Every structure is written in structure tokens, then in C-alpha cells.
Amino acid sequence: MTDSVHAEMDGASRQTSIYVYETPVRIWHWINALAITVLCITGYFIGSPPPSMQIAEATHQFVFGYIRFAHFAAGMILTVFFIGRIYWAFVGNHHAKQLFYIPFWRGEFWKEVWFEIKWYLFIAKEPKKYVGHNPLAQLAMFCFITLGMTFMIVTGMALYAEGAGQGSFYDKLFGWVIPLVGGNSHVLHTYHHLGMWWIIVFMIIHIYVAIREDIMSRQSIVSTMISGHRTFKDDRAD
């Protein structure tokens, strides 16, 4: 752990809770979760379209159009709030910065990552206390959210730019992406769709781990992203 975390741990042993996640971070988290959910559902149907309905003429239906609209709208919301989240990493507290960097040069960081892996595999018997993300969570957030979301935004906007047409605003910003995959947008579609499953895998693990920690650990996880305060259930500190 860093010295600053050690200091906070000492404080954690003397107080009920510590304020960790500021309001903008919590708002971003839940809007991001909602946007990702909409994107995954609509993205699945875009990749595997539902059968057409026979109750009316095709010209009177707009089901797939609504699916695409919801996907594009959620994508825009996710992008805008992700840019806002990057901004808050610079002006917020140091917990707001954890999402965007990995101290890979520190041997102690990787030792704690290994400890957390053992804890989640039920090998380690006692959890460690962390005020912010534990090292394994920080690594996962960086790989799945920071890198994963950046990839999904760039590839998604590139596909949207193709529909918007050459010379459009989106084409000027993201028109360089499709040529990177040989100019074949179908290849980019495949990568974008695989990225969706990458995010889905993370969401499943993330929800499981958060609930598991609330039950088995001595610190709040789920409620922390609602109230902003991390509560420690006893006065023992690692």
C-alpha cells in the first residue's frame, strides 16, 4: 500500500466510515451502468436481429430503428459522461484517479494483486482493508473500463461515422479507424461486438465481487457507491 493509504487505514480503525467517492463519481457510475446495460441489450439485437413481425406492413414498423436509436443515444451519453469522468480525475480526490492508471512499476502493487486473487479464490482467510479500490479491482477497472470503454467508444463512433457519411463531423474525428482494419467495416463490427462481450464478462464479475465483499469482507462496497462513504465493520486494520 502507499503511505497515503496506510494513513487512511489508521484512520479507518478509529472511525465508522470514510468519505471516498464524490458525487460526480457516483452519478457517473450509475449512469454509466445504465448506458452499458442499454448498449449491451441493443447491441446484441443489432448483431442478432429479432425476427420481423407480421402484424403490419414492414413500412409501418420501426422496431429495428428504435433499437438502433436507443443504441446510438446510449452510446452518446456514455461518451459524454466518460469525457466528464476523465475531467473529474484531474479535479477530484485521489480516489477519482484510480480508474485511469496502474502503478505497474511497483512490486508491492503486484504482490497485493496476487493476495486479492487468493482472497477471491477463498485461499486467503482474511481480507485486507482498502479505502478506495483494492489493487486487483484497480487493475480490472483499468483494463475493462478505461481501456475497454475507450475501445468501444472509438470503434462505435467509427461505425457511426460510416453511416453519417464522408465529410461528416464523425467521419472527420473517427474516419481513420476503419482503414486500420483494411477498410472493412464488417471486421470492425466483429471487434466491436467482441468488445461488448468483454464488457459483459466484466459486469458479471464486478457485480458478483461487489456483493461477495459486502457479505464476506469487513467493509461496505455496494452502498459506498450510493452514499460515497466506505464503512468498516470493526476496528481491525490490515
Instruction: Pick 2-8+16-231's CATH classification: 2.60.420.10, 3.50.50.60, 1.20.950.20, 1.10.1670.40.
Output: 1.20.950.20
Count of CB atoms situated within 10 Å of the CB of 138: 22
Count of CB atoms situated within 10 Å of the CB of 161: 22
Q: In sequence order, which residues have a C-beta less than 8 Å from that of residue 211 and are 6 or more positions away?
A: 221, 222
Nearest to 87 by CA among 102, 104, 100: 100
pLDDT tens, 112-131? 999 999 998 889 888 888 88
Whether the model pTM is above 0.95: no
Nearest to 130 by CA among 219, 233, 53: 219
Low-confidence winner among 85-94, 174-183, 228-237 (lowest mean pLDDT): 228-237
pLDDT tens, 193-228? 999 999 999 999 999 998 888 888 778 888 889 999
Sign of CA dihedral 114, 106, 99, 14: positive
Domain extents in the chain: 2-8+16-231
Cα 29 vs. chain centroid, distance in angstroms? 8
Work out the pLDDT band at 35, boundaries 50, 70, 90.
Answer: very high
b/e for 100-119, b at 16 or more Cβ within 10 A? eebeeeeeebeebbebbeeb
Cβ atoms of 209 and 120 closer than 8 Å: yes
- Please give the share of the chain, as a percent, with pLDDT higher than 90: 59
What radius of gyration, in Å, describes the C-alpha atoms of the chain? Answer: 21
All three cell numbers of 37, joined, read 446495460
